[in-house]
Amino acid sequence: MKLVLECVSQMLNDPKLFCQKAYISGEWVDASDDQVILVNNPFDESIIGSVPACKAIQVNDAIESAQSAQQDWARMSSIARSDVLAAWYELICQNQDDLARIMTLEQGKPLHEALSEIHYAASFVRWYGEEARRLSGHVMQPDGDHRVVVLKEAVGVTAAITPWNFPSAMVTRKVAPALAAGCAMIVKPSELTPFSALALAALAERAGVPPGLFSVVTGDAREIGEGLLKSSIVRKLSFTGSTAIGKYLMAQSADTVKRLTLELGGNAPLVVFNDADLDVAVDGIIASKFRNAGQTCVCTNRAYVQSEVYDEVCLKIAKKLEGIIVGNGLDPAVAIGPLINDMAVSKVKSHVEDALSRGARIVGDELTINGRVILPVLLADVPSDALIATEETFGPVLPLFRFETEQEVIQLANATPFGLAGYVFSRDVSRAWRVSEAFECGMVGINTGAISMASAPFGGIKHSGLGREGGSAGIEEYLEMKTLHFHL
Ligand code: NAP
């Protein structure tokens, strides 16, 4: 293992960003019993390093130090908090190449995508650093001799549980608004991709984030999760991950009545009407489907194409997919990296086989799997009862469904318990508006496959979650209102 570790360090400008310890109470620590979790590179399954398998008692240490650090932090001026976040933002930008490389090594996505994620991650730190200065409550209009003032106060100690598919952005999208609002946060990253979170913590420490205010506790998800959830000191949990685990955490939070933000799974429909600019639509489909090898919560899971343009869209997509290079994310020519693990590969395989058994056909390359790397698959004539229509595939498979009318496609699009994102491609503004309003989801892309930015609210409805991240809504999730009534 030593040889591999030396390789990782040699790949970085600053080897200290590759941290193999947890960051608790401002200290870099091992597990109390010295146990570790090995982390592999999903491309070739080589071990790239290890992180401590922290124990429940260490979660308690993190909670206690967060409580004391938070009290001082919340008393600081919002300008001082903003300055610390600005310094963190600068350090993330200065170290973007190392952060991207660490991400590709543990997550697999191509280096250029990892770099885009670092920019996206940094944008939350910058945006919420600026937003900290604009926080305010309000004063109501006088009512006789009654006066009412509404204060905004930090929620207190908060926790975050983050997934492997966006190992940096899902950390900063939670930590930045929490710190800006005056909260402390304890992060439990996915055991598959802990190094990105730890590198961000190392930079936060250098930026002057006080010890204990932001901890990263690595270890067994259930043990760390339980430690965070049963504590009454932890007032809020922000979770991004699967709907099944989100529901479990929601139930576990009931006893201490925690505030919750849940960013859960999706099953996004994308609709192309006859009147769409087909080249724009095809670019939107490719961008929203194949980014991160299709392992994105807002990925197009089902593409509905109106019958008059169906064959043309299918051919155009097949042409774009020809010659796409898949493989090791560190290779600059690679556009699609490996899937995260063998379970993810099996799911893709089962979705393709199920669709084929129900009469769908593959256009272009057959399903080709090499380890965890899969060539993009285009499925045409997929029936609406195929598994791929109802379950999130989380892989590079694009199923095309045919439809005739606007009313029919709205019904198909909404026939899912999920409601995260939807996409519509049409040159008819009234139709695009009507369909956007009819979609049961939290975000709609109109003639675009890109729908996330730091300044805009992000989140879903139905089984896709609760609350919003991003935008001014994202910081409100870390603020409580206190109403003061004065009698003159
Ligand atoms: P996951 O299995 O639910 O894991 C997410 C996080 O929860 C990981 O840190 C995981 O830890 C942790 N976890 C698992 N079991 C737990 C337990 N019993 N108690 C406490 N924590 C637990 O989801 P995933 O497969 O990593 O992520 C993919 C899912 O996330 C997809 O459904 C995707 O749509 C969704 N997602 C949603 C959004 C959004 O904004 N809506 C964004 C990105 C992803 P370990 O990994 O260490 O086990």
Taking the CA of residue 166 as reference, the ligand 1 atom at the shortest distance is 43
**Distance spanning both ends of the chain, measured CA to CA:** 72
Task: Report d(CA 428, CA 425) in Å as an integer.
Answer: 9
pLDDT for position 246: 98
Are residue 191 and residue 219 in the same domain, yes or no? yes
Q: Label the pairing between strands 461-462 and 146-154.
A: unpaired
Are residue 139 and residue 36 in the same domain, yes or no? yes
Q: Is the CB of 467 under 6 A from ligand 1?
A: no
Two structure tokens written together for 310: 């169906």
Instruction: Report the CATH number that the domain containing residue 340 is assigned in CATH.
Output: 3.40.309.10
Length of the chain: 488
pLDDT for position 2: 44
pLDDT for position 1: 46
Taking the CA of residue 188 as reference, the ligand 1 atom at the shortest distance is 9
| Residue among 154, 157, 66, 48 at smallest CA distance from 104 | 48
- CB count, 10 Å around CB of 422? 29
Are residue 256 and residue 222 in the same domain, yes or no? yes
Give 243's contacts (C-beta < 8 A, 6+ positions apart).
Answer: 264, 265, 418, 463, 464
Coil/strand/helix, residue 187 = strand
183, 297, 314, 441: which one is catalytic? 297
Give 252's contacts (C-beta < 8 A, 6+ positions apart).
Answer: 225, 226, 229, 230
| Residue among 474, 463, 408, 457 at smallest CA distance from 440 | 463
Mutate-to-test residue for ligand 1 from 239, 242, 252, highest number of ligand atoms within 8 A of CB: 242
Helix or strand (DSSP H, E) at 441: none
Indicate if 263 belongs to the active site.
Answer: yes
Determine which residue's CA is closest to atom 14 belonging to ligand 1: 221
Are residue 473 and residue 428 in the same domain, yes or no? no
Asked whether residue 136 is domain-assigned, the answer is: yes
DSSP category for residue 163: -
Are residue 387 and residue 438 in the same domain, yes or no? yes
Q: Is the CB of 229 under 6 A from ligand 1?
A: no
3 residue type, one letter: L
Mutate-to-test residue for ligand 1 from 173, 264, 295, 461, highest number of ligand atoms within 8 A of CB: 264
Please give the distance, rounded to the nearest whole angstrom, from the Cα atom of residue 369 to the centre of ligand 1: 25
Are residue 319 and residue 416 in the same domain, yes or no? yes
Asked whether residue 447 is domain-assigned, the answer is: yes
Give 124's contacts (C-beta < 8 A, 6+ positions apart).
Answer: 169, 172, 173, 176, 177, 454, 470
Taking the CA of residue 246 as reference, the ligand 1 atom at the shortest distance is 3
DSSP category for residue 463: T
Asked whether residue 217 is domain-assigned, the answer is: yes
Are residue 178 and residue 226 in the same domain, yes or no? yes
Q: Is the CB of 309 under 6 A from ligand 1?
A: no
Are residue 381 and residue 433 in the same domain, yes or no? yes
Beta strands in 224-289 (DSSP E): 234-240, 259-263, 268-272
Task: Report d(CA 484, CA 401) in Å as an integer.
Answer: 56
Count of structural domains within the chain = 2
Helix or strand (DSSP H, E) at 36: strand 36-40
Asked whether residue 458 is domain-assigned, the answer is: no
Two structure tokens written together for 422: 């939807």
Asked whether residue 164 is domain-assigned, the answer is: yes
Give 274's contacts (C-beta < 8 A, 6+ positions apart).
Answer: 306, 308, 309
Q: What is the pLDDT along the chain (488 residues), one digit of tens a residue?
A: 444 555 788 899 999 999 999 999 999 999 999 999 999 999 999 999 999 999 999 999 999 999 999 999 999 999 999 999 999 999 999 999 999 999 999 999 999 999 999 999 999 999 999 999 999 999 999 999 999 999 999 999 999 999 999 999 999 999 999 999 999 999 999 999 999 999 999 999 999 999 999 999 999 999 999 999 999 999 999 999 999 999 999 999 999 999 999 999 999 999 999 999 999 999 999 999 999 999 999 999 999 999 999 999 999 999 999 989 999 999 999 999 999 999 999 999 999 999 999 999 999 999 999 999 999 999 999 999 999 999 999 999 999 999 999 999 999 999 999 999 999 999 999 999 999 999 999 999 999 999 999 999 999 999 999 999 999 999 999 999 999 999 99
Task: Report d(CA 229, CA 253) in Å as an integer.
Answer: 6
Are residue 296 and residue 354 in the same domain, yes or no? yes
Task: Report d(CA 63, CA 57) in Å as an integer.
Answer: 10
Are residue 28 and residue 45 in the same domain, yes or no? yes
Residues 198/175, Cβ–Cβ less than 8 Å: no
Asked whether residue 459 is domain-assigned, the answer is: no
263, 392, 469, 477: which one is catalytic? 263
pLDDT for position 5: 55
Task: Count CA atoms closer than 13 A to 63's CA, side-chain side.
Answer: 21
Instruction: Report the CATH number that the domain containing residue 186 is assigned in CATH.
Output: 3.40.605.10
pLDDT for position 317: 98
Q: Is the CB of 162 under 6 A from ligand 1?
A: yes
Angle at Cα 382 formed by Cα 282 and Cα 410, nearest 5°?
Answer: 70
Asked whether residue 364 is domain-assigned, the answer is: yes
Are residue 51 and residue 193 in the same domain, yes or no? yes
Determine which residue's CA is closest to atom 30 belonging to ligand 1: 241
pLDDT for position 323: 87
Are residue 155 and residue 256 in the same domain, yes or no? yes
Beta strands in 117-221 (DSSP E): 138-139, 146-154, 157-161, 184-188, 214-216
Q: What are phi and psi of 297, to 5 degrees?
A: -65, -30
- CB count, 10 Å around CB of 486? 10
Q: What is the CA 229 to chain-centroid distance, rounded?
A: 21
Helix or strand (DSSP H, E) at 369: strand 369-370
Q: Is the CB of 310 under 6 A from ligand 1?
A: no
Asked whether residue 448 is domain-assigned, the answer is: yes
Structural domain that includes position 298: 268-453
